[in-house]
Chain A
Amino acid sequence: GAVVSQHPSRVICKSGTSVKIECRSLDFQATTMFWYRQFPKQSLMLMATSNEGSKATYEQGVEKDKFLINHASLTLSTLTVTSAHPEDSSFYICSARDTNGSSNQPQHFGDGTRLSIL
């Protein structure tokens, strides 16, 4: 089945550090990938839609200069949290759907990245 790999799984770093998270579709191509953030005991909130070869589409209230997204190939999207602060500590999860699959193909999620900013 479709596999989405996300790396790293956990990051602990000092305030002011920039952190890059990678999301890869391992056995399918994805022209679109999605980045979510989840705070403890809350739902997944869509941050942005990553579009291969073009600019990402950000949801309302998400700072595009704070959360930089690059989707340089059909199998890789990266999210960079720039100058991270403690309030950015959260569980970040990416998802992707097989572009070449049927319209009923589900979105598959990576294992998530737990970001802790000290």
Chain B
Amino acid sequence: GQSLEQPSEVTAVEGAIVQINCTYQTSGFYGLSWYQQHDGGAPTFLSYNALDGLEETGRFSSFLSRSDSYGYLLLQELQMKDSASYFCAVRALKAAGNKLTFGGGTRVLVKP
């Protein structure tokens, strides 16, 4: 099976940097995805890491270390609109159905 751990909540001020860590235990790992979800909305895709290293997409970056079963999402130059829940999700191998298993989510609250 799969299990993922991430902090439940993070509070920061506008302009700050936030790092959301995600550790996972899984069989058949293919990659680690990150999704953002605002209250009442659907998850939107942010980033995906299949290989070790850092992926940068604008203010958001994601990192993966397969040997450590660890990844993180880095939110830079925080804006009020970044207040949302952020989920890491493990993508299983095709043989396991390409399924996504989500972590519990990290609620990020950005204060002025």
- A interface residues, Cβ below 8 angstroms from B: 6, 32, 34, 42-46, 49, 57, 93, 95, 97, 103-104, 106-112
Set of chain B residues within 8 Å of A57, measured between Cβ atoms = 97
Out of A34, A42, A104, A110, name the residue touching B100 (CB < 8 Å): A34
Out of B48, B97, B102, name the residue touching A32 (CB < 8 Å): B97
- Whether the Cβ atoms of A106 and B42 lie closer than 8 Å is no
- Whether the Cβ atoms of A106 and B33 lie closer than 8 Å is yes
Q: How far, in angstroms, from A6 to B43 measured CA to CA in the complex?
A: 13
- Whether the Cβ atoms of A44 and B102 lie closer than 8 Å is yes
- Whether the Cβ atoms of A109 and B43 lie closer than 8 Å is yes
- 21 inter-chain pairs at a CB distance below 8 angstroms, sorted by A residue, are A6-B42, A32-B97, A34-B99, A43-B102, A43-B105, A44-B87, A46-B99, A46-B100, A93-B42, A103-B50, A104-B50, A106-B33, A106-B48, A107-B45, A107-B91, A107-B100, A109-B35, A109-B43, A109-B44, A110-B42, A111-B42
- Whether the Cβ atoms of A112 and B41 lie closer than 8 Å is yes
Q: How far, in angstroms, from A109 to B44 measured CA to CA in the complex?
A: 7
B79 to chain A, nearest CB (A): 22
B46 to chain A, nearest CB (A): 9
- Whether the Cβ atoms of B87 and A97 lie closer than 8 Å is no
B106 to chain A, nearest CB (A): 11
Is B98 on the interface with A (CB-CB < 8 A)? Answer: yes
Most buried by B among A34, A93, A107: A107
Q: How far, in angstroms, from A108 to B87 measured CA to CA in the complex?
A: 14
20 more contacts with CB within 8 A, not counting A43-B87, A44-B102, are: A6-B42, A42-B104, A43-B102, A43-B105, A46-B101, A49-B99, A93-B42, A95-B100, A106-B33, A106-B48, A107-B33, A107-B45, A107-B91, A108-B45, A109-B35, A109-B42, A109-B43, A111-B41, A111-B42, A112-B41
